[in-house]
Amino acid sequence: MEFSNLFFWNQHFLTGAAVVLLLLSIICQIMIGVLYQNMIKQADNMAATTNKVLKQCKLKFSHCYQMNMGTINVNAFVDKFLNRIRIGRLSLTTMGHLSGQFMMGAVFVSGMGACKGIIDGMTLGALLPYYIISLFGLYVYFSVSSLVDVPGKKRMLGICLVDYLENHMANHLNIVKEQEQIAKTDQNVQENGDMVEKCSDAGIQLAGEKEKSEFSQKEEAELAQLIREFLA
Residue 105: inside a domain, yes or no? Answer: yes
Which pLDDT belongs to residue 30? 92
Count of residues making up the chain = 232
Region 117-136 average pLDDT: 78
Contact of 133 with 106, CB cutoff 8 Å: yes
Count structural domains, the chain: 1
Residue 76: inside a domain, yes or no? Answer: yes
Residue 11: inside a domain, yes or no? Answer: yes
The closest alpha carbon to 213, from 205, 223, 201, belongs to 205
Which pTM value belongs to this model? 0.67
Residue 221: inside a domain, yes or no? Answer: no
Which pLDDT belongs to residue 26? 92
Between residues 128 and 182, the one the model is more confident about: 128
Residue 128: inside a domain, yes or no? Answer: yes
| Domain interval for residue 153 | 3-187
Residue 200: inside a domain, yes or no? Answer: no
Confidence grade of residue 5 (pLDDT, cut at 50, 70, 90): very low
Contact of 81 with 161, CB cutoff 8 Å: yes
Which pLDDT belongs to residue 65? 78
Residue 80: inside a domain, yes or no? Answer: yes
